Amino acid sequence: MRYKLSRSTHAPSRRRFLAAGLAALGAGGLRSALVRAAEAPALRKLAAEKGLIYGTTIAATQITGDPPFVDLVRHEAGLVVAENEMKWQVMNRGGPEEDDYGPADTIANFASVNELVLRGHNLLWYHRTPNWYFDLADRQQQERAVIDHIQQLAGRYRGKIHSWDVVNEPIEPKDGRPGGLRNAVFFETLGPEYLDLAYHAARDADPKALLVVNEYDIELDAPEQEARRSALLHLLERMRRSGTPVDAVGIQAHLTAAGGRPFSAPLLRKFLAELAGLGLTIQITELDVTDENVPADVTVRDRVVADTYGRFLDAALDEPAVKMVVTWGLSDRHSWIVRRETHQTKWRTDDAVPRPLPFDADLEPKPAFDAIAGAFAHAPERAPG
Ligand code: XIL
């Protein structure tokens, strides 16, 4: 049976949270605090008060098929990103120039009608490249295909996208290539310059969008993640030096509540400061927390997941260059972890349904919601970016 957090379980912590906020304010701030307290503490509002944008993934089928979830997204999120619909392989119908923009347009229109910020995810990802691309004979054809794709996709949404993940996951030191770059299909033929080609093409196609390098497994205190961090820093330094347009770095932050690599707040702060030192904006782009290795008991799992969110965000938000937090979904009803869409066949070894996101499958807030709300409330204010 699926556990449902009752309102009464949730309410005291929310009251505590609001009371703490009121106590922290002087008389001048009291009125606006009371106004705020009358509303639910939507994550988007708590984030905005600190100069942050909070957002979530959405899918076109959710927009058309799950109105209660969509209401929750509208209430909580200031930004949406297509979970899959803008990925090249997903939109491609089998040949060059055969992209179906329908589902991506559904999401772009949803953002526009609801005045939500729109992220673009992504222009190139080795893992979601159409099959026909792998058959292209030579360098020239591959270059043309990359440029055409970026011109068409980024060009279609020109002026509407806040930030584009131009190349997703370019780093993999284990591949043994120079600079720790991933031996992606683009790298094989075009070499490291594929990155420069892609970022220049994206800048030309949509000059106002922030151009992002988005990467995973760079948050934790483990030698292999250190290698990934150092390769990423090296790449970003090189791009900045050579005038390749890159504005931001995306920290995916797919976290594990227990049994994973250790988390070190000082280490994360140091890494974020190094990225900020390159003049880059930082975005947390795919935050979620798996609960494998935590006992099945829901109360325990929710607490450990919430702690993981809280510790990570408290450290990350200390860095003023962090301007955005996106969770990879909003409710456990729609999570890739629950759907088990991964190379791992299972996230848990028992039959318990994972609970990785701030709202449960019944759209009720969980302790993870309180942890995120609390982290936003405690975060230092920053200039929006
Ligand atoms: C995932 C989606 O959530 C799944 O639905 C899909 O099957 C695979 O991709 N890093 C990324 C995201 O950059 O695009 C991935 O999204 C999760 C890992």
Q: What percent of the chain has pLDDT over 90?
A: 85
Residue 4 has pLDDT above 50, yes or no: no
Query: Residue 363: pLDDT above 70?
Result: yes
Confirm whether pTM is higher than 0.85: yes
Specify the pLDDT at position 185.
97
Q: State which of 56, 61, 83, 129 you would mutate to test the pocket of ligand 1, scoring each by most atoms of that ligand within 8 A of its C-beta.
A: 83
pLDDT tens-digit profile of 94-123?
999 899 999 999 999 999 999 999 999 999
User: Which ligand 1 atom sits nearest the alpha carbon of residue 335?
Assistant: 3
Question: Where is 15: in which H helix or E strand?
Answer: helix 7-23
Residue range 13-36: mean pLDDT, rounded: 39
The pLDDT value recorded for residue 344 is 59
Q: How far is the CA of 129 from the centre of ligand 1 (A)?
A: 13
Going from the Cα of 351 to the center of ligand 1, the distance in angstroms, rounded, reads 22
pLDDT attached to residue 33: 39
Question: Among the atoms of ligand 1, which is closest to the Cα of residue 254?
Answer: 18
Are β-strands 248-251 and 210-215 bridged in parallel, bridged antiparallel, or unpaired? parallel
| Pocket residues: Cβ below 6 A from ligand 1 | 83-84, 168, 216, 252, 286, 336, 341
Q: Residue 97 — left, alpha, or beta (φ > 0 → left; ψ -120 to 50 → alpha)?
A: left
| Percentage, residues of the chain above pLDDT 70 | 88
Phi-psi region of 191 (alpha: psi -120 to 50; beta: other; left: phi over 0): left
In this structure, of 5-19, 166-180, 284-298, the range with the lowest mean pLDDT score is 5-19
DSSP string, 137-171: -SHHHHHHHHHHHHHHHHHHTTTT-SEEEEEE--B
Instruction: For a ligand 1 pocket test, name from 81, 84, 256, 287 the mutation site with the most ligand atoms within 8 angstroms of its C-beta.
Output: 84
Among protein residues, the one with the nearest Cα to ligand 1's atom 13 is: 168
- Tell me: the pLDDT tens digits for 243-264? 999 999 999 999 999 999 999 9
pLDDT in tens, 20-30: 333 333 333 44
CA 261 – CA 357 distance, rounded (Å): 20
Tokens of residue 359, six digits: 């709202």
Task: State mean pLDDT over 62-84.
Answer: 98
Identify each DSSP E strand in the chain by its residue range: 53-58, 79-82, 117-125, 163-168, 210-215, 248-251, 254-256, 281-290, 322-327
Q: Average the pLDDT over 292-319 and give the result.
A: 97
Are residues 227 and 180 in contact, defined by beta-carbon separation less than 8 angstroms? yes
Task: Tell me the per-residue pLDDT of 196-217, one tens digit each, with 9 for 90 and over.
Answer: 999 999 999 999 999 999 999 9
In this structure, the chain runs to a length of 385
pLDDT band (50, 70, 90) for residue 34: very low
